[in-house]
């Protein structure tokens, strides 16, 4: 992270003792809201520390980092707790860039220290969840997710990993739905020196995670089969999944698709209705319900569901086309023409709209 306010200056005479003791020729200082002269006039070892932390975070390969380390470790023996506390405060106040600089610098100063690396991972994880919740910056979110992953990978490489580190790795992978890695770390945790009460909690959690893994395999197998038009076998697998997980809307949706592809519109409609009861205001479900009603001859019901879907997505060409075709089936040619004209306005190259507008 580049800092345009970071300058490298010759160490002033009033701090000459540091120059001699640590062989410091130039030091990094941050100039923010003041002049260089004013910053130099107020320079002390704390402001030297701040400048060094910024320099380390900005350029982990800087040639003077060994000198900075010597200065920091000697002058600030409590540097880990001091900087960790400062970073937590900055993060709590929403000053994420400053917090990131501090946590990053600490991880460079202590590249093999588990607690330091865990704190960096915690920070990126919490920051990414905050950005994800806002839903405003997808680019930053992806960047933070990658940094979180890299931070936890560094934790995993620590020698003699503590049960706390193992525990956090397990939960990180659980949240990512990487059940294979999660179970791997849960098993390592059970062999650690954690207390028995905690281990028992983990055993219970592992049962749940393992079940989710097995169920996920059923769902993905069904999805693969139905995508490949092996609908009968796909129906078997998704039905097995639904026997264990009856409140998963997209599983009912997948079952409905399989039945519809087979031309079994009664069972398809039943499945889509169950999906709709679990997940309201989703236009794809409403569209599928409408299609089933169309095929079953329930035109008025079909129009009702298409209108509901169009209230959610008024410019959805698929929905508009389906309603236009339905209007044609009922000899409502003017209504159909209006709908096809709207489609052509949205996409002038739409072949279905072009075809019917020539006829109508």
| Choices 1.25.40.10, 3.30.420.40, 1.10.760.10, 3.30.230.10: CATH for 280-360 | 1.25.40.10
- Cβ atoms of 353 and 321 within 8 Å: the answer is yes
Burial 81-103 (b: 16+ CB within 10 A, else e): eebbeebbebbeeeebebbbbbb
Burial grade of 250 (CB within 10 A; 0-12, 13-18, 19 or more): middle
Report, as an integer, the average pLDDT of 204-231: 91
Residues of the chain with CATH 1.25.40.10: 195-278, 280-360
Q: Is the pLDDT of residue 360 over 80?
A: no
The fold adopted by the segment(s) 195-278 is 1.25.40
**How far, in Å, CA of 161 to CA of 175, rounded?**
20
pTM (two decimals): 0.63
What's the pLDDT band for 3 if we cut at 50, 70, 90?
Answer: low
**How far, in Å, CA of 87 to CA of 85, rounded?**
6
Report, as an integer, the average pLDDT of 67-93: 94
Report, as an integer, the average pLDDT of 241-260: 96
């Amino acid at each position: 992270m580049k800092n345009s306010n970071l300058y490298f200056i010759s160490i002033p005479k009033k701090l000459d003792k540091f120059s001699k003791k640590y062989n410091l020729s130039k030091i990094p200082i941050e100039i923010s809201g003041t002049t260089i002269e004013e910053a130099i006039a107020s320079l002390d070892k704390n402001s030297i520390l701040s400048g060094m932390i910024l320099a380390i975070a900005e350029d982990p390969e800087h040639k003077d980092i060994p000198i900075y380390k010597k200065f920091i470790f000697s002058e600030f023996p409590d540097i880990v707790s001091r900087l960790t506390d400062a970073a937590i405060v900055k993060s709590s106040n929403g000053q994420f860039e400053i917090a990131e600089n501090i946590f990053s610098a600490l991880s460079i100063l202590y590249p093999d220290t588990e607690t330091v690396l865990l704190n960096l991972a915690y920070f990126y994880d919490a920051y990414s969840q905050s950005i994800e919740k806002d839903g405003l910056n997808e680019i930053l979110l992806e960047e933070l997710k990658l940094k979180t992953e890299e931070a936890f990978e560094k934790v995993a490489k620590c020698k003699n990993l503590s049960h706390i580190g193992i525990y956090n790795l397990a939960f990180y992978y659980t949240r990512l739905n990487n059940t294979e890695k999660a179970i791997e770390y849960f098993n390592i945790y059970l062999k650690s020196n954690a207390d028995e009460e905690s281990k028992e909690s983990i055993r219970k959690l592992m049962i749940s995670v393992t079940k989710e893994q097995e169920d996920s395999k059923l769902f993905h197998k069904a999805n693969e089969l139905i995508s490949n038009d092996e609908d009968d076998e796909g129906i078997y697998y998704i039905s097995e999944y639904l026997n264990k997980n009856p409140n998963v809307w997209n599983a009912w949706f997948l079952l409905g698709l399989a039945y519809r592809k087979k031309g079994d519109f009664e069972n398809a409609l039943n499945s889509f209705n169950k999906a709709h009861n679990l997940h309201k205001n989703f236009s794809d479900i409403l569209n599928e319900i409408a299609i089933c009603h169309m095929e079953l001859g329930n035109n008025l019901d079909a129009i009702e569901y298409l209108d509901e879907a169009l209230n959610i997505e008024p410019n959805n060409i698929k929905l508009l086309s389906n309603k236009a075709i339905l209007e044609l089936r009922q000899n409502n040619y003017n209504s159909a023409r209006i709908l096809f004209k709207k489609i052509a306005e949205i996409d002038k190259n739409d072949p279905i709209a072009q075809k019917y507008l020539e006829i109508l």
